[in-house]
A and B are shown apart, each in its own frame.
Chain A
Amino acid sequence: MFELVRANRRKSALLILLMLALLLAVGFAVGFSVYPATDSFVMGHYRYFIPVGGLAGMAVAFLIWGGQALAAFASGDRILMAAAGAREIKKEDHPRLFNVVEEMTIAAQLPAVPKVYIMEDMSMNAFAAGRNPKHAAVAVTQGLLGRLNRDQLQGVIAHEISHIANRDILFMTFASIMLGSIIMITEIFLRVMWYSNLGGSRRYTSRRSNRNDGAARLVLLVVALVLAIVAPLLAQLLYFACSRQREYLADAGGAVYTRYPEGLASALEIISGNPGTKASVSKAMAPMYIINPLEAGARSLTSLTSTHPPVEERIRILRSMGGGASYNAYAAAAGKISGAGKVHIPQAALAAELAAVRQAQAARAAEPGQGSMGPALMAATAGQARAPEPEPEPGERQRFREAGDLVRTMNRFRFLQCACGLKMKIPPEYKKTLVKCPRCGKIHSLEKTANA
């Protein structure tokens, strides 16, 4: 797990540096084209030219970013939460949500339990915030709480906790501010250029300078303009690409922490099926949600400008993890579904996991006398899927299920009882005649049991 965080951090640092370089380049270009004069001084045999305007532009760009980043860092999650219209809750307000968050904190071995927020909104979504695992928060909408069962809620929270453990939030905050700064600077620049009728530099050329100099300035101006147009797009692409990778990683983490990929998979299915528009979502915050609230309609579309991988693909990967809820299983499933190399789970994490499994097997082989230890050890190291345990507390869950079934009946869902005890809920959009039980794999015909 540490390996994973470290690899993540390395990649984040690289990306931040790239974006910072882009920001400074934009600052330089803008500064230089606004004030193209240079100072010069002589050192040794050479004369050095200092592009004063360019350096000043760089400084201003950096300050714009730094100031915002500092403000975001100091205020932590409060501003974000206020912007999303979330309020902090206590355990008494929603014991189950609180319990699930605490469980996942233990599973992810975070140093502190994140604060829990609820958004009074009927759409279904969730996000995490905070600058480090010690000062983190998770927020879920009221709509999500109402419609997910405990396992699904656990999957969603595990996904969010995984974001916290991977330190995605700090990174995404910094990156989104950087993106915002680049957009802001270039926009101002382009507007100034537009209103000054692209003649901003004429003042300088009108001074008695030679023609060559004027031409050079014109070239620089064009370069600055091109950069101003291209930079925001480039920054956005960088940002989105990284955001998508982080979603995959958080999904994998969610499966590993709960040891039950189906929980998150079915939660994603429900959430994407009821997009609902959430009021007050800003573009900058959209990538932080479990499903992008602004792209909720585009379920299977992948594009360069998506902050999240397509939901259908995420669900398919989770479902084809089979029995093993580990980073290895996720990487294998992702390779099958999305094509090898598209989803990147750091090699070091996979290797560590493999070693752990081998050790466990060796330990088991070495001590045949302690047979009872085996399964637990395997589960502990390989993170195998939870055994289908008969529920010891059917009461409350049953009530929720019944309520859920009622809603589904109204939505013309069909129900099918499998021999393994699982009750399948088949949505009306499902047109095929055969359905496979997700638990035991038995194939059922839908025609016979149309109204079961």
Chain B
Amino acid sequence: MSGIVIGLIVIGAVVFLLALWVAGVYNALVRLRNAVKNAWSQIDVQLKRRHDLIPNLVETAKGYMTHERETLESVVKARNLAQGASDKGAGPAEQGAAESGLSKALSNFFVVVERYPDLKANENFLALQEELSSTENRISFARQAFNDAVMTMNNRVEMFPGNIVAGMFNFKKEAFFEIENAAEREVPKVAFS
């Protein structure tokens, strides 16, 4: 009789501790996921800023770059694609791909701008350029925080024994955010003058 009672108490205690542990891990996972979400929204704000700046930039450049319709169009197209991805709430992976396209189009654009000294001296253009480069800096700094949050989350989701709890409540690995900048990967050109 008393043996059964003791056994029941022991089992009950073990179950209770286990439940406590599961609750703890669950809460930690929720916290991490919210941190990832928050970090993403920080990036999203900056991406929107980037998308909003580009029409103005193109509008300013249009007057000077009469022979560069293709370049301008490709910038606008890439920008619309990126904004479309942002509007429908595509995740970091898809958004990153779209933003990479935009970065590439922009770097082409700025190469072409070199041929238009008047445009380069335009005050409005310079202001927009400062805004744009600042926005890119912000994106890269915010990306750092986001990728840190994602890594912490993914470690928790994948590592034993957290992965058991994560599997039970369907916590998924999060994707990293990466903007592939074509120009960054190329070897810088060397000019002897």
Contact = CB atoms under 8 A, between A and B. Distances in A.
Interface in A75-107: 95-96, 99-100, 102-104, 106-107
Interface string A382-416: 01000111101111100000000000000000000
A372 interface: yes
A396 B126 contact: yes
Contact of A359 (B46, B114, B129, B155): B155
A107 B141 contact: yes
Contacts of A387: 184
B147 interface: yes
Given A95-B127, A392-B107, A103 B141 contact: yes
A380 interface: yes
A376 B147 contact: yes
Interface stretch (B12-20, B25-33, B81-89, B185-193): B185-193
DSSP majority for the A interface? Answer: helix
A323 to B, nearest CB: 16
A195 to B, nearest CB: 60
B151 interface: yes
A259 B46 CA distance: 20
Contacts of B151: 356, 359-360, 363, 377, 380-381
A277 to B, nearest CB: 31
Given A106-B42, A106-B142, A394-B114, A380 B181 contact: no
Interface stretch (B3-11, B66-74, B131-139, B162-170): B131-139
A96 B135 CA distance: 11
A417 interface: yes
A428 interface: no
Contact of B110 (A95, A392, A419): A392
B137 to A, nearest CB: 5
A388 B188 contact: yes
A393 B141 contact: no
Contact of B120 (A103, A109, A395): A395
A107 B129 contact: no
Nearest to A104: B141
Nearest to B119: A395
Given A106-B138, A380-B148, A417-B193, A96 B130 contact: yes
A438 to B, nearest CB: 15
A390 B188 contact: yes
A100 B134 contact: yes
A352 B33 CA distance: 21
A393 B147 contact: no
Contacts of B154: 363
A256 B174 CA distance: 25
B188 A107 contact: no
A336 to B, nearest CB: 27
Interface in A216-244: none
Contacts, number: 96
Contact of B133 (A106, A257, A376, A393): A393
Interface string A103-127: 1101101000000000000000000
B65 to A, nearest CB: 14
Interface in B142-159: 142-145, 147-148, 151, 154-155
Interface string B106-131: 11001001100000110001110111
Contact of B148 (A100, A381, A395, A396): A381
B178 interface: yes
A42 interface: no
A260 to B, nearest CB: 11
A339 interface: no
B141 A396 contact: no
Interface string B40-82: 0010001000000000000000000000000000000000000
B193 to A, nearest CB: 7
Contacts of A43: none
A199 to B, nearest CB: 67
Contacts of A420: 188, 190
8 contacts: A96-B130, A107-B141, A359-B155, A376-B143, A381-B147, A388-B188, A390-B183, A395-B120
Q: 4 shortest A-B CB distances, which residue pairs?
A: A99-B134, A380-B147, A107-B141, A395-B120
Interface of B: 42, 46, 106-107, 110, 113-114, 120-121, 125-127, 129-134, 136-138, 141-145, 147-148, 151, 154-155, 176, 178, 180-181, 183-184, 186, 188-193
